[in-house]
Structure 1
Amino acid sequence: MYGDVDMNIMDGSAVWAQSMVQALAAAGCAPTLLLKAEVSTDRLTAPLERDPAVALRRPYEEGLLEGLGPRGLTPEQAVELLERLDAERAYDLVVVRGRRLAVLAAQSERLAGRLWTYLTDVPQSVPELTAGAVSELTDIAVASRFVLCQTEELRSFLESAVPAACGKSVLFPPVVVLEEGAPQAAPPAAVDGPLRLVYTGKFAPRWNTLEMAGLPEALKERGVPAELHMVGDKVHRDSPEWARRMNKALEGTEGLVAHGGVPRAEALRLAAGCHAGLSWRDEEMDASLELSTKVLEMGALGLPVVLNRTPMHEALLGADYPLFTEPGADADEVADLLALAADPAPRAEAAERCRAAAARFSLERAAERLGSYLDAACPTGPEGTDARRPLKVVIAGHDLKFFTRLAEHLTSLPGLDVRLDEWESLRAHDQYRSKELASWADVVICEWCGPNALFYAEHKRPGQRLLVRLHRFELYAEWPRKLDIEKVDAVICVSPYYARLTRELAGWPADKVVVLPNWVDTEQLDRPKLPGAEYTLGMIGIAPSRKRIDRGLEVLRELRRRDRRFTLAVKSKQPWDYWWIWNRPEEREYYERAYRELRRDPLLAGGVVFDPFGPDVAAWLRRIGFALSTSDDESFHLAPAECAASGGVPAVLTWPGADTIYSHRWLHEDPAAMAEAIHATVAEGRFDAARRAAQAEIRGNYALDKVCRMWTDLIVKGAVPEPVDLPKAVPA
C-alpha cells in the first residue's frame, strides 16, 4: 500500500493511511506500507509497528532509491518502488491513494489488474470534468480491480462520468479507529467554566480556520466565556498573506490555545476534554462528495460537532440535527449557534447522534467490507481443480457483454486457466487462433448459439466438453438447426420457459438443455434510495417496439390521475439510434404514435424524463421505486430484477414465462392492474415491506455469487443446477 501522504503530518489523509492499513490487517491481510517520507515522528507509525501483521518499508532509511529529495517520494519514484517490491514478493493487491500517483500506477503493466485505487482528489462537479480528467479517470478505472469511493455520492458521480468505473466502484468510507482505553467525552452537562471548543486538522482558507479563531471573542460578546483548542501543524501556504494571518492568530489570539502537532492519542484526549467539536467550513465545500474523518472521530469520542447542513450530513445525522450551520453562515451566526449549545440539552442530543453515526464506521465494519471485496478479488479454487494443472477453459463469442462478470469470476479462480476468443462479428474471427484454442481447451463455452457454436462443435476433440449458451435472438435463426447436438454437452438457457421452448423448436434431447439464470450484481446495486423514489417508475430499454413503452405510458397515466407526484424515468437509446429498427416503417410508425401521445396528453405533461443509455444503472436506480416490464415477450428481463436488488419493486406484465422468473406477487394482467397495485403499495404505506421482500427474492435466486457457483459447478463437475424455486403465494 502507498498513499501520497506524509505520515509525519497529522491530517485526515495521514490518519486514513494508518486506518486503512489497520483495516486490511483486521480483514486478514498482511499489509506492507511504503512510506513517502523519512520518519521524523512516529505519532502515526508506532501503532502500525506494534502489529506483527504489518510491515513498514522506509525508502529513506533503507536507501531504496538514489536521489531522494527532501519532500518525500515523487509519484514516479513511488511507482518504481511499488514495482520493485512487487517483483520481490508478488502481492495480491496494491492499494494506492493520490490521483497523480494512480494515473502513473495505471500505466504500469506489472500492477494493472491488482490496483485498489482510493479516489479523493478528483473532480467533484461537472465543470471540473474536462476531457483530460475523464481520460485519466478512465485509465485508472480500467487498470483497477476496485475503485474505492468514500461516499455513495462520489461513487454515483464517478460512474455517471466514467463508464469504465461502473461495476468496479465500491464503497470504502472513512474508518474510525480508537485504541483500547481511548478517552470519552463527559456526558453533556451544564458548562462549568468556559465553553471549550476543539478543532483538529489542517489550517486552510476553505476550512474556515481563520474565522474560527474569532469565535472566543464573539462568544464573549454574547456572555458566553469560551476557549478554542486548535490541534495541528499544517498551515496551507497557497496564499502567503493568509498563512501569515493564520499563524498570527494561532500565536496571539485571546481564548485560543494552539497545541501544534501532537501524537494522535494526545489529540483525542484533548478533544474528549472539550464540549463541542468544530467542522464548520466555507460554503464552497458544501458540494463536496467526501465525508470528514474528523467528524466521525469526534463522534466516536461522544463529542457533538458543529458542521454545515448538507444533504450528505443530513443523511448522516438527520435533518433535525441541532448543531447544523445553515448555508453561507458567517462567524456571528456560528457564535449564535454555539451560544445555544452551551445548554446541555441540544449538546446531549447532538452527541448521541454523532456517536451513533460514528459506530457505522468502526474498524470492525471496515474489515467486514474489505473481507467481501477480498473474497471477490481473491477467491479460493473450486473443489476438484489443481492450480498446478489448471482446467483449460475458452470463452468464445462475438459479444460478451452478457457474460462479462461471469468471465471475470472464472478468470480469477485458481485452478482454471481461462482464455477469450472474441469474434469480430457473428461470423468474422481469427480462424487460426480459434483452431489453436479448440486444440488447447478442456472446456469451451460458446456465448450465443451462432457460428461460433458451429465452429467449435466441428473442431471438438474427444474428451473435450462444449457448453453453448442460447439467447432468444438465436432461437428463431438458422444456427440451432445446423448445430450437431451430439457434440454439445449442454445448451444453457436463462429461464425454464425458454428451455422448454428450445427443446420443442430444436427437437433436442431434454437432458441436453439446462437452465442457468442471468446474474444480478446484488452487491453493486444495493444502494440507498433517494427521497421520493417510491413515486418514480423506471423503464430500461424501450427499443424495439415489443418493449411497449405505450403500456408504460398507460400505467403512468392511470397513476397521475390519482397522484401527480408519479413520474416515469426512461433510460434507453432512442429507436432512431438503431438503424435496423428505424428503417422498418412499422417500428417508426409505432414510436411516432407513442411520442405524439406523450406530447399531447396533459396527464403525461412533465411526467416523463428520458435519461441517456449507459452502464451507470446502479446509480440511476437510486431514484427508481418501481421498474416496469411491459413487453410482449422477454427471455428474462433483467431490469425488474436489478430494480429489486436496488431496493425497489418489480412490476411485470404476464408475458410468456414471466411466472418462471418472478413470483406471482410482482405479476399483473394489464396496465390498469399494474397501476392499481403500485398506487395501493405506496398509498397504504407498504412500499418498504414490498421492496424488502423483492430484494430478498432476487438475492436468493439470482445473486451474482450464486450464479457464479452454478457456472463453476457446471464447468468443473458437469453438475446441473437445481431450478429456481419461486414462492407462488401472494402475501396478505
Structure 2
Amino acid sequence: MSRVIRALVYGDVDLNLIDGSAVWAQSTVQALSLAGCETRLVLKAPVLTGRLTDPLAGLPGVTLVRPAEERLVPGQGDRPLSPVQASRLLARLDRDEPCDLLVLRGRRLVGRVVADGRFDGRIWAYLTDIPQSAAAMTEQARAELGRIAAASRRLLCQTEELRCFLEAWVPEACGRSVLCPPSVPEPDFPVPDHDRPHDPLRLVYTGKFAPLWNTLPMTRLPSLLAERGVAAELHTVGDKIHDDPAHPGFHDAMFRALNGGTLGVHHHGGQPREEAMRIAADCDLGLGWRAPGLDASLELSTKVMEFGALGLPVVLNRTPAHEALLGADYPLYVPGRAEPEDAAEAVAHAARAPEARRLAAARCRDAARRYTLRAAADRWRGHLDRVFPPAPAGVVHRARPLRVGVAGHDLKFLTRLLDHFRAVPGLDVRVDAWPALARHDPGASRELADWADVVVVEWCGPAAVWYSRHKRRGSRLVIRLHRFELDAEWPGQVDIDAVDRVICVSPYYARRTLEHTGWPRHKVVVVPNWVDADQLDRPKAPGARHRLGMIGIAPSRKRLDLGLDVLEALRARDRRWHLSVKSKPPWEYWWIWNKPEERAHYETILRRVQTSPLLQGAVVFDDFGADVASWLRRIGHVLSTSDDESFHLAPAEGMASGAVPALLPWPGADEIYDRRWIHDGPPAMAEAITGLGESEGTWRSAADTARAQVRESYALDRVAAAWTDLLVSG
C-alpha cells in the first residue's frame, strides 16, 4: 500500500468467550496491523477478561474502542451492543474519524449497517452465518444477501466452496467475493516432538462446546478407547457452552461432563490463545470430529490448522472440504457414520499405527503453513492494494481532482475499470448512463460535457456522435470502439477533430478502423480488454481436464457447430470428454431470433446434440450469469471457434482460470493470443487437446503457461494502469 489505510473492525461476537468467531476478530486485527493498516477494533461487550484483547493493545496502529467502559452508548450498561446500537456507534465513530473500510462479521449486524446506508461501498463483510445449501437459500435470504453484496466493497469468504456457492445464488456477489480464510498464529515456543505419544494417549479439543461439534460424545472417548485396550485421556480448553433450545439439557450435561470428574477428562477452562496452544502442543492427537450434520459445511476447519501448526495429527470427518485440504487418502478420517464408536476406532488406529500418525501430522502441518498470520497479512495487503491504488504522478500536484466523465448505453465492459477510476486518488468520476443506444437526457449529458476535463464514451455509437459535437473547449474526448460499430453509420458521423483518442481492443481492429474511417493514425491506439485474473484464478474441480467450455454461442458466427466437431473427435477416442456451454439461448436475443437463417442454424445444432451417438449426454447448457469464475473451475479447455472476434474474452478468462485455450484462426487472433493455442481447424484442435488430456502434468504445465501469459498481457491491474495513464497524461 502506498498510503495509510484506516480500518474499522466490528464483529457481532463477545471477546470474553473464546470460540472461532472471537478468535477471528483477534486474528483479523493482527493481520491488518501486519498489513500496515491503522485499525480500530470496536468491542461488542464490556471486557471481563483480557485473554483475547490484551495481545492486541500493543500492536502498531491498533486502537481498542471499549463502548461500555468509555460510555459511548447511552443505556448500554454492562450489556453487549445490539446490532442497532452497533450500527449507530460505528456511524458516529466514522463521522469523528472516517475509515476507508469497515470490516464486519455477523449477518444481522451487516444487514442493519447496510439498511442504515452510511457505509455503502466501504463494507468488507465476513459472513458465515448464511444458508449453505440450496434447500436453505430462500428467496428472502437471497434478497437480503443481494442487498448486502451490492453495498459491500468486498465479501470475505472463508473457503472457495463458500465463495462459489454465494456467487451462484447471489449475482451481486460476483466480482466482489475474495478469499479470507482463518489464520493461525505460529507458536512462539518450542513444539514438542510428537513421534512418541504419551501413555496414556492425550487427546485434545479447544473451542466452543456445542451439540454439532460432538463435544459431549467426545467425553466418552477415554472409556470407549479403554474397551479397545487403548489408555487415553481427553484435554479440553474453552469456556463457551452453548445453550441450544434444539438440544434441551445439553448445557447442563456438558458442564457436568467437563467439571464433574468424568473418567479421563481434564478440563482446563478458558485460556488465552497462546496458553491454549501450549496445552494442545503437549498432547498427542487433535480432535476435529463433528456431527454428520456439518459434513456439508462450506467453512474451513480452523482446528485442523491450529493443531497442524503444533505438529499434531487430527482425527476428523471425511468431507469434501477436508479431502480438498488434506487429501482423499488422509489416514485419520472417522469411518462409517462418524458415531462415537467410529471416532474411537479412528483414535485407536492412530494409537497403533505410527506411520499413519506421522503421515497425518505432516499433512496437517503442511495445510497449516498456508494459513499462518503472515500469510493472512499478505492476503490482506493484496486485497487492499487492488482496492486502494496509488495516486498517479499526473494528479498529485493538481489544485483539484481531475474530472472524468463516462458515458454510454452499455457499460458492462467498463465495470471494473470504473471501480478503479473511482478508487484512484485525484480522480473525480461521474457517469452519464444512456438508457438505450440512441436515447438519453440531453440536459444531463450537457452538464457532464461542461463539467468534465476528460470524457470517455463507451462504444462508437450515438453517444460518441453527441459528445464529439458538444465537446467543451479545453476538455479531452476518448471513444472506445469495439466491433459492430464499424458496420454502422456512426463512425462517419463522429466529428473526429473533436476526438483526442479512439481506443481499439486489438491491433487488427485498430487497422480495420483506420482503413474504414480514414481517421488520423495518431488518434487510434490499442488498449486491450481487461481480465480479472485474481478473481478467475481458482482451484480446478475434479474432472476439469476432460471438460471443454464455450462462453457465449450467439449469434451463429460464434460457431457452436465447430465446437461440436471438436467434441465428437475427442469422444471418438475417449468418452470422458464433455462440453459445457455458458450462454443465453439465442431465442432470448430478439434481433438474432428474428432472422430465419439464425433459427435454422440453431435448430440444426440442437437436433445434432440430440441424435449424434457421440454427443448424447455429453453437452451441458449452463445458465448465463456473472458466476463465470466459479463455472470455469470445472473447465479444462476453453474453445474459441468464431468466424471473427474483436478480442474474445472467453479464452483469456479461461487462461486466467488455469484452463488451456484452443482457438481457430479468426482474423487477428494471433496478435492477441500466442500462436501455440491457435489451430487450423477442428481436427487439429482436437488433436492438440488430446495430447494435453493424456497426462495431468502436461495439461497443468500448459495451463500454467497460459495463466502466466494472460497475467502478463491482460491482467486488470495492468490494463487499469494503462487507462489511468491515458486519462491523466493523454
Distance 1:690 1:52 in 2: 44
Partner residue in 1 for 2:184: 176
Q: Is the 8 A contact 1:185 1:274 kept in 2?
A: no
Do residues 314 (structure 1) and 323 (structure 2) align? Answer: yes
1:261 maps to a residue whose letter is: G
Deviations 1:324-346 (A, max 9, x none): 11352211121112112113332
Partner residue in 1 for 2:139: 131
- Match among 611, 614, 625 for residue 614 of structure 1: 625
1:497-576 pair list within 5 angstroms: 497-576=508-587
Do residues 710 (structure 1) and 719 (structure 2) align? Answer: no
Partner residue in 1 for 2:666: 655
Partner residue in 1 for 2:305: 296
Distance 1:142 1:326 in 2: 43
Query: Once the 2 structures are TM-superposed, how far is the Cα of residue 179 of structure 1 from its aligned partner?
Result: 5.3
Structure 1: which 5+ runs fail to align? 719-732
Deviations 1:122-174 (A, max 9, x none): 11000111011001111111111110000000000000000000000000011
Partner residue in 1 for 2:31: 23
Query: Once the 2 structures are TM-superposed, how far is the Cα of residue 683 of structure 1 from its aligned partner?
Result: 1.5
Do residues 187 (structure 1) and 173 (structure 2) align? Answer: no
Deviations 1:234-254 (A, max 9, x none): 111113322222222222311
Distance 1:350 1:670 in 2: 49
Structure 1 residues 200, 380: CA separation in 2 closer, same or farther (over 3 Å shift)?
A: same
- Match among 236, 241, 248 for residue 230 of structure 1: 236
167-176 or 321-330, larger mean C-alpha shift: 321-330
1:192-231 pair list within 5 angstroms: 192-231=198-237
Distance 1:545 1:69 in 2: 68
Q: Is the 8 A contact 1:309 1:327 kept in 2?
A: no
- Match among 141, 144, 151 for residue 149 of structure 2: 141
Partner residue in 2 for 1:382: 392
Q: Is the 8 A contact 1:12 1:294 kept in 2?
A: no
- Match among 696, 710, 715 for residue 698 of structure 1: 710
Distance 1:287 1:598 in 2: 35
Distance 1:192 1:484 in 2: 85
Q: Is the 8 A contact 2:406 2:457 kept in 1?
A: yes
Partner residue in 2 for 1:152: 160
Distance 1:653 1:105 in 2: 50
Query: Once the 2 structures are TM-superposed, how far is the Cα of residue 321 of structure 1 from its aligned partner?
Result: 1.2
Structure 1 residues 192, 444: CA separation in 2 closer, same or farther (over 3 Å shift)?
A: closer
Partner residue in 1 for 2:614: 603
2:702 maps to a residue whose letter is: A
Distance 2:106 2:713 in 1: 39
Distance 2:435 2:336 in 1: 55
Structure 2: which 5+ runs fail to align? 1-8
Distance 1:666 1:147 in 2: 35
1:355 maps to a residue whose letter is: R
Q: Is the 8 A contact 2:335 2:346 kept in 1?
A: no
Do residues 115 (structure 1) and 123 (structure 2) align? Answer: yes
- Match among 580, 583, 599 for residue 591 of structure 2: 580
SS of 1:127's equivalent in the other structure is coil
Deviations 1:468-488 (A, max 9, x none): 000112111010011111111
SS of 1:184's equivalent in the other structure is coil
Q: Is the 8 A contact 2:187 2:310 kept in 1?
A: no
Partner residue in 1 for 2:422: 411
Distance 1:414 1:299 in 2: 42
Calculate percent identity across the aligned residue pairs.
60
Distance 1:466 1:53 in 2: 43
Partner residue in 1 for 2:5: none
Distance 1:73 1:292 in 2: 28
SS of 1:420's equivalent in the other structure is strand
Q: Is the 8 A contact 2:326 2:367 kept in 1?
A: yes
1:20 maps to a residue whose letter is: T
Partner residue in 2 for 1:730: none
Q: Is the 8 A contact 2:550 2:580 kept in 1?
A: yes
Deviations 1:656-702 (A, max 9, x none): 11111111000011111101110011125520111011111111000
Do residues 44 (structure 1) and 58 (structure 2) align? Answer: no
- TM-score, normalised via structure 2 length: 0.97
Do residues 265 (structure 1) and 274 (structure 2) align? Answer: yes
Deviations 1:494-522 (A, max 9, x none): 00000000101111121111100000000
316-325 or 487-496, larger mean C-alpha shift: 316-325
Do residues 82 (structure 1) and 90 (structure 2) align? Answer: yes
Partner residue in 2 for 1:65: 73
Q: Is the 8 A contact 2:583 2:623 kept in 1?
A: yes
Distance 1:326 1:166 in 2: 37
Distance 2:77 2:164 in 1: 38
Partner residue in 1 for 2:369: 359
Partner residue in 2 for 1:724: none
Distance 1:185 1:623 in 2: 42
Distance 1:674 1:15 in 2: 52
Paired positions, count = 716
Q: Is the 8 A contact 1:538 1:568 kept in 2?
A: yes
Q: Is the 8 A contact 2:421 2:724 kept in 1?
A: yes
Query: Once the 2 structures are TM-superposed, how far is the Cα of residue 461 of structure 1 from its aligned partner?
Result: 2.0
1:351 maps to a residue whose letter is: A
Runs of 4+ in structure 1 over 6 Å off: none
Distance 1:439 1:255 in 2: 80
SS of 1:2's equivalent in the other structure is strand
Partner residue in 2 for 1:56: 64
Q: Is the 8 A contact 1:317 1:353 kept in 2?
A: yes
Q: Is the 8 A contact 1:308 1:327 kept in 2?
A: no
Distance 2:633 2:69 in 1: 49
SS of 2:80's equivalent in the other structure is coil
Do residues 626 (structure 1) and 637 (structure 2) align? Answer: yes
Structure 1 residues 327, 101: CA separation in 2 closer, same or farther (over 3 Å shift)?
A: farther
Distance 2:198 2:455 in 1: 77
1:380 maps to a residue whose letter is: P
Q: Is the 8 A contact 1:573 1:613 kept in 2?
A: yes
Partner residue in 2 for 1:721: none
Query: Once the 2 structures are TM-superposed, how far is the Cα of residue 270 of structure 1 from its aligned partner?
Result: 1.0
SS of 1:342's equivalent in the other structure is helix
- Match among 471, 484, 489 for residue 495 of structure 2: 484
2:371 maps to a residue whose letter is: F
SS of 1:42's equivalent in the other structure is coil
Distance 1:308 1:185 in 2: 26
Q: Is the 8 A contact 1:286 1:308 kept in 2?
A: yes
Structure 1 residues 101, 360: CA separation in 2 closer, same or farther (over 3 Å shift)?
A: same
Query: Once the 2 structures are TM-superposed, how far is the Cα of residue 262 of structure 1 from its aligned partner?
Result: 1.8
Query: Once the 2 structures are TM-superposed, how far is the Cα of residue 300 of structure 1 from its aligned partner?
Result: 0.4
Distance 1:302 1:179 in 2: 10
- TM-score, normalised via structure 1 length: 0.96
Deviations 1:95-126 (A, max 9, x none): 00000011111123321111111111111000
Distance 1:109 1:75 in 2: 14
